[in-house]
Structure 1
């Protein structure tokens, strides 16, 4: 039996349900050891101002308490908890909920973008796909969003659409009515879903179509006598017509429909039928895997030399032809300064500093005068595979503040920028501002408790008068910070 340290936990905080997966790898094959699900319907608790209803929040926190014993048996770096559509929408107003969730679980909750969600779904489904690589279209209908991915050996197109079984239930079936007088809410939901799919008709063309997750599986079971099997176009046509005739959701009498799925089934079916019609799908396979399995594969990659974030940064560097010699100079110096300042600084923080340095001049490809602002904007809003929203925001903050006055951050859950990393990046950028090689011999950076102290030998400063002036300017920039910088020439 493998040791617990070789196991991984993925926890998906979805808009409809929370899913936990405990898995391990045997001969490079993932084995699912334990799964658990809580039907939370988080999206039901999101009001017009994107605040979470206290009742729904408490329901969600209770579910997390149930999952916690599984997480506490593993190292933190073997666990990943991700929040998807509803938590993306509520992130700015959900600090209290997220902090309580982190306190219960003992690990941070990462809010991920819709595109990152789609990538992880694709990775999970492909882990169960048989045969040689071929063109596939993956479809996942969640509680708040629907992800569609087209790809072969790797994803080629990723889409995240604002339609899900819970959000559409609230929008079209709020009173439980499916058909009333001249208004057919089911058909309205179908039309809305088809409108979202405009321009995406090609995404399933000539591809093997695979569906995954709760709504797809629920429809499959209803159509296939309780078994999860392929969904055929004419069968879902027939089911959609039957459901559209029912007056109220409570009157739905469908064999093999899970009671917990009952309240959101009509909305999920309307979306799935719209996808079949708009994308001209004749048959859909149903995968047993989804985002949880993708998260586990991603975690294993991070710990065994296949961190997707690193390859994403490398791709950006190559695309924008960033000066690799300058990256090397600034990186070497910044990491040496961080080693002086915090010898035991966590690996994840050192990685973040390296990535920020690799990307710190990305804006120069388009502008010189405002390259820091542009670079930060590009990083914050780009689809960066492997990164959570908070990680991208932190990288953007470092790039934006690599020189000049320090812009005060508006901290929130998932975004607590480190002044240590910022200081090391700024000092290294000053030392190599003229793109010249310089040694750190005679330079020492330390934390005095109430201030940072940068001690430099007078001989070093005399040899670089322009750098000396920039360092004195830097001292001024830090005077407004919680921990100022003091320059000491000896």
Structure 2
């Protein structure tokens, strides 16, 4: 039961915030976990002694695959799991997720074969089953994406997975990113008295430390970016819909996303100061951070990519009101902090009207900080090449 709870914890932390009721299935080597939950809470858990290793030893001990022994293994798995089927029937959940282990291995093979790597379907399972029968033996089984240490247990794992699909009448199983180790790590962080309260915060702190980010400068950019964002947040338009991950993200934690982007906007400098924004975005697109989905990391990467440089080459939706507001706030913060000191912001006014951002600066301030004014002039030109405008006015 504890293992199942931790698995659900790991899975749910890496899913976008949602009101959906979730079924999480994890087929391990010795056992299979079933969890029903809502948001971050596991409400019903079961752990059954049927796993890919045990099933492979029992039904595929000689290393051969036939339609007959696969069918026997599938029926046996279905019979073994039948006792909990009423609890996990379709009416009790909205979306079914598969975590790590067998699910991850099968999804990777199916992805290489041209199927959607983010979900497992009946069609994909039927194809994989046919490949095993065609190969006849483990030794002759050659599938792109199937690691050597998985070959000997793929028969057992696949049989259990097919049995679950048939028993629960599943059409598809979404591949979850998190699992037991993610849940365990979150538990450890939560148990530490001085640990960060949020797994995402802990991950960003770890990332910036690993890439040698100047924490003081990053903090200054963070503070200034949030000040600019807060000043014009009143003008944000509500998203048209909230069905995908990015919109759940925008509604749940818009300020945190901007803050995280500010904190790690210079991680690319560890590779090279030249085009550091591109290196930073690449790092975020090709890493795994506890607490973040790949969609969230990509959104962070887009902000990091856009924190400086040409806007015209930025492959983003310039009609995305919320993203653009965060982007302009971050770019202005980087400009104002260019001397790597906390800037003087007293009497500076930042406003917005439709697609125009207006920055009002006291004349005395402009005389005191001519370098910043020059950078702002360049920034005005950058925004003129988009459907947005940045205007700088003088205050007497």
Same fold (TM over 0.5): yes
> 2:200 maps to which residue?
309
SS at match of 1:472: helix
- Please point out which of 340, 364, 367 is paired with 2:272: 367
Listed one character per residue, the Cα deviations across residues 415-471 of structure 1 (whole Å, up to 9, x for unaligned) are 997000000100000001111221211211111113111111111111100100101
> 1:321 maps to which residue?
212
Task: Report the count of equivalent residues.
Answer: 293
Q: CA deviation at 1:70?
A: 6.6
Relative to structure 1, the CA distance from residue 258 to residue 471 in structure 2 (aligned partners, 3 Å threshold; closer, same or farther) is closer
Listed one character per residue, the Cα deviations across residues 266-286 of structure 1 (whole Å, up to 9, x for unaligned) are xxxxxxxxxxxxxxxxxxxxx
Is contact 1:22–1:32 with CA below 8 Å preserved after alignment? yes
Relative to structure 1, the CA distance from residue 22 to residue 171 in structure 2 (aligned partners, 3 Å threshold; closer, same or farther) is closer
Gaps of 5+ in 1: 1-6, 35-65, 72-80, 85-116, 119-137, 147-159, 179-183, 220-256, 265-289
SS at match of 2:392: strand
Structure 2: distance between partners of 1:326 and 1:369: 18
SS at match of 2:22: strand
Q: CA RMSD in A?
A: 5.0
Task: Determine if the alignment matches structure 1 residue 488 to structure 2 residue 393.
Answer: yes
Is contact 1:442–1:456 with CA below 8 Å preserved after alignment? yes
Q: Map residues 240-389 of structure 1 onto 2, 5 A cutoff.
A: 260=166, 306-342=197-233, 348-389=253-294
Is contact 1:430–1:470 with CA below 8 Å preserved after alignment? yes
Is contact 1:338–1:424 with CA below 8 Å preserved after alignment? yes
Q: CA deviation at 1:305?
A: 6.6
Task: Determine if the alignment matches structure 1 residue 11 to structure 2 residue 26.
Answer: no
Is contact 2:232–2:352 with CA below 8 Å preserved after alignment? yes
Structure 1: distance between partners of 2:118 and 2:91: 31
Relative to structure 1, the CA distance from residue 409 to residue 314 in structure 2 (aligned partners, 3 Å threshold; closer, same or farther) is same
| TM-score (ref. length: structure 1) | 0.49
Relative to structure 1, the CA distance from residue 8 to residue 448 in structure 2 (aligned partners, 3 Å threshold; closer, same or farther) is closer
Greater relative contact order structure (CA < 8 Å, 6+ sep): 2
| TM-score (ref. length: structure 2) | 0.59
Q: CA deviation at 1:262?
A: 12
Relative to structure 1, the CA distance from residue 468 to residue 69 in structure 2 (aligned partners, 3 Å threshold; closer, same or farther) is farther
Q: CA deviation at 1:362?
A: 0.5
Structure 2: distance between partners of 1:82 and 1:317: 34
Gaps of 5+ in 2: 1-17, 26-33, 47-88, 110-116, 171-176, 237-250
Relative to structure 1, the CA distance from residue 384 to residue 416 in structure 2 (aligned partners, 3 Å threshold; closer, same or farther) is farther
